[in-house]
């Protein structure tokens, strides 16, 4: 067993879709593998695995350099840049769309790619599950992470396992204010739900075991629209969860996904849809570019080596959930351009819809129907209010 902490870094980016937004071209994966193999030979990485969920290239890497390592983040950035060159040559759709700046500046956070990292001392047995989603926002992890680490109806270990019985601490980020807060469960459960129930505003960032502060899970919280100031693609988040021996069992970690909860994203990043747990080979959304998908790659980590992956949603029991997802997707689709299928107006501010609305700014009349429109020539701003 390793005597010092290892870091598991999962960094993803959409650098070109094949065809449209459905999946990646095999040459993108080959390019990424080639770049990461060089890093292993230079001992920058211990091990790696390259995969995809939909049109996102996913880099799963182990190393000794800690979280937010400039060397590791630059490696990921350069790998995505090389893959973008291939995407441009093949004229893939949205080539390099998640790379929002021209040059690397020390950390890929705020530059477009999504990041989830864990640093820990490797246990006698170290099972981890890497979740990767497509066509949805990072708020998609709120409900599953809550159920894994705070809901005894999902995780019996919270009741019967003394190493988990004291509960977990959730680190939540306010993505609009760029602030974080830590809330302890079970005693602050209601307060936690008050925040994370608004999944497009407050997102679970990290989870820690209360008894010793050991990290249990990490999730990406980057929102492309807030970085770019406009819609450039959906965030397609990643999440890493440690399992067993003081953490939820593998089955407890997977159980939340038996309910295909609604997440923001789907087509043009503008619609709510059910999150479908699917196999690696089925992570190719196509019905109106959806519905949103999630895959789960299981690994055993041994001396930093990634033993796996195992396709955790390949079990046929998940067919029931997939059928329910299809029913929910059909129901939501029947709403067409109406809410609640279409996102609320506040979330639509970052789509292309404001460009259409702009031409009608001067055409609104006062409520009394007067020809003298006091608002004429003034910018009309539509806002939403809460009680």
User: 168: which 2 tokens?
Assistant: 């977990």
Identify the sign of the CA torsion 49, 50, 53, 56: positive
Strands 56-63 and 47-53: antiparallel
Residues annotated as catalytic (active site), given as ranges: 14, 231, 234
In SS3 terms, the chain reads as CCCCCEEEEEEEECCCECCCCCCCCHHHHHHHHHHHHHHHHCCCCCEEEEEEECCEEEEEEEECCCCCCHHHHHHHHHHHHHHHHHHHHCCCECCCCCCCCCCCCCCCCCCCCEEEEEEECCCCCEEEEEEEEECECHHHHHHHHHHHHHCCCCCCHHHHCCCCCCCEEEEEEECCCCEEEEEEECCCHHHHHHHHCCCCCEEEEEEEECCCCCEEEEECCCCHHHHHCCCCCCCCCEEEEECCCCCCCHHHHHHHHHCCCEEEECHHHCEEEECEECCHHHCCCCECCECCEEEEEEEEEECCEEEEEEECCCCCCHHHHHHHHHHHHHHHHCCCCCCCCECCHHHHCCCCHHHHHHCCHHHCCCCCCCCCCCCCCCCCCCCCCCC
Identify the sign of the CA torsion 159, 164, 166, 167: negative
Compute how many other C-beta atoms are within 10 angstroms of the C-beta atom of residue 198.
Answer: 14
**Environment class of 367 (CB within 10 Å of its CB; exposed 0-12, middle 13-18, buried 19+):** exposed
């Amino acid at each position: 067993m390793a005597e010092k902490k290892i870091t598991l870094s999962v960094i993803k980016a959409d650098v070109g879709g094949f065809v449209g937004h459905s999946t990646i071209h095999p040459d993108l994966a080959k390019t990424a593998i080639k770049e990461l193999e060089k890093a292993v030979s230079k001992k920058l990485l211990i091990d790696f695995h390259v995969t995809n969920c939909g049109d996102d290239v996913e880099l799963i890497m182990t190393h000794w350099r800690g979280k937010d390592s400039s060397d590791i983040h630059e490696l990921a950035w350069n790998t995505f840049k090389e893959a973008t060159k291939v995407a441009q040559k093949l004229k893939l759709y949205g080539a390099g769309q998640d790379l929002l700046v021209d040059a690397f500046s020390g950390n890929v956070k705020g530059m477009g790619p999504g990041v989830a990292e864990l640093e820990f001392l490797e246990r006698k047995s170290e099972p981890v599950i890497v979740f990767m989603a497509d066509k949805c926002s990072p708020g998609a992890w709120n409900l599953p992470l809550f159920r894994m680490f705070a809901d005894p109806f999902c995780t019996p270990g919270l009741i019967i396992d003394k190493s988990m019985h004291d509960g977990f601490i959730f680190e939540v980020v306010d993505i609009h204010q760029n602030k974080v807060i830590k809330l302890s469960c079970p005693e602050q459960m209601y307060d936690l739900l008050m925040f994370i129930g608004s999944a497009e505003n407050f997102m679970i960032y990290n989870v820690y075991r209360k008894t010793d502060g050991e990290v249990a899970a990490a999730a990406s919280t980057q929102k492309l629209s807030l970085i770019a100031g406009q819609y450039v693609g959906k965030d397609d988040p990643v999440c890493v969860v440690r399992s067993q021996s003081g953490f939820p069992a593998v089955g407890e970690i997977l159980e939340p996904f038996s309910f295909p909860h609604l997440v923001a994203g789907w087509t043009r990043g503008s619609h709510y849809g059910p999150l479908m747990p699917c196999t690696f080979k089925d992570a190719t959304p196509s019905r109106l570019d959806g519905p949103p998908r999630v895959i789960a790659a299981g690994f055993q980590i041994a001396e930093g080596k990634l033993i796996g992956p195992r396709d955790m949603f390949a079990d046929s029991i998940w067919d029931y959930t997939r059928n329910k997802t299809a029913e929910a997707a059909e129901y939501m689709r029947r709403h067409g351009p109406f809410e609640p299928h279409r996102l609320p107006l506040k979330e639509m501010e970052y789509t292309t819809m404001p460009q259409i609305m702009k031409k009608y700014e001067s055409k609104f009349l006062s409520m009394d129907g007067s020809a003298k429109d006091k608002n004429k020539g003034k910018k009309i701003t539509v806002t939403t209010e809460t009680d």
